[in-house]
Amino acid sequence: MFDRAQRQGISYFNYGEAIAGTVPPSVLKVLGVTDKDIGPAQAKLENQKFAHSNLGFPFECYPNDTSIGTDSIAAALTHAQRETFDSSVPAGAAPSSESRFSCFQTAFDQRVAASTVPAFNYLVLPSDHTTGVTPGTRTPRSMVAENDYGLGQIVDPAHIPGSGAHRRSSSPRTTRRTAQTTSMPTGCRRGSSARTPGAEPSSTAATTCCR
């Protein structure tokens, strides 16, 4: 999807998808990884996609899809444990905890205010993959519930400035784990077509996909 958007000149932003050719060799080196198979053309494309991505620590705030339950990158680089949540950080969590929803909300609000919301927004919400029954981690049931709550926060019209006029009378349908909406304010619906406030003039609607 990102490759096609790049080729076709469609504005997009990727929140958290790190396993899709979005991390260029220069960034991999920071993580102690060397990709000997990548050529100049592919490296250029990956740099372009990275510029349209928020992949979390140590550069940004959105934990990528390799971090389920805790931030794997922060652990590898700093040997510190940071809990990751799809939802806002719950009461009682450690101060170092990270929230995908809060990171997305800050970035999205800034783009709405500047009228630069990309035509396509892609978010990963991987908490429902859970960490199984690993000792010392959250239970699968709590992680699935937290993932549901985080998705609800993201598609809730109340979190989108000026979106009141775009509410629909029907109740939004929500699909956990894979959800796509053609307009953030309408909730997690397929086939809706209202335009997101602040979306770029070249787009008729902003599409947001949550995985």
pLDDT for res 205 = 55
pLDDT for res 162 = 47
Cα separation, 165 vs 70, in Å, equals 38
pLDDT for res 35 = 78
Local confidence pLDDT in tens for the 211 residues of the chain: 999 999 899 999 999 999 888 988 888 887 777 777 788 888 899 999 999 999 999 999 999 999 999 999 999 999 999 999 999 999 999 999 999 999 999 999 999 999 999 999 999 999 999 999 999 899 999 999 999 999 999 998 665 554 443 323 223 333 333 333 333 332 332 222 333 444 544 443 567 777 7
pLDDT for res 159 = 57
Q: Are 101 and 154 in contact (CB under 8 A)?
A: yes
Number of structural domains found in the chain: 1
Give the list of residues 6+ apart from residue 58 with CB closer than 8 angstroms, or none: 30, 73, 74, 77
Record the pTM: 0.75
The partner residues of 12 in beta bridges, in order of sequence, read 120
Structure token pair of residue 134: 């690993």
pLDDT for res 183 = 33
What residue type is 64 in one-letter code?
N
Cα separation, 3 vs 19, in Å, equals 13
Neighbours of 11 (CB within 10 A): 17
Range list of β-strands (E), 42-109: 53-54, 84-85, 98-99
pLDDT for res 189 = 29
Residue 10, domain extent: 2-210
Structure token pair of residue 183: 């307009």
pLDDT for res 26 = 83
pLDDT for res 83 = 97
How many residues can be counted in the chain?
A: 211
Cis preceding-peptide flag for 58 (omega within 30 of 0): yes
Q: Are 93 and 85 in contact (CB under 8 A)?
A: yes
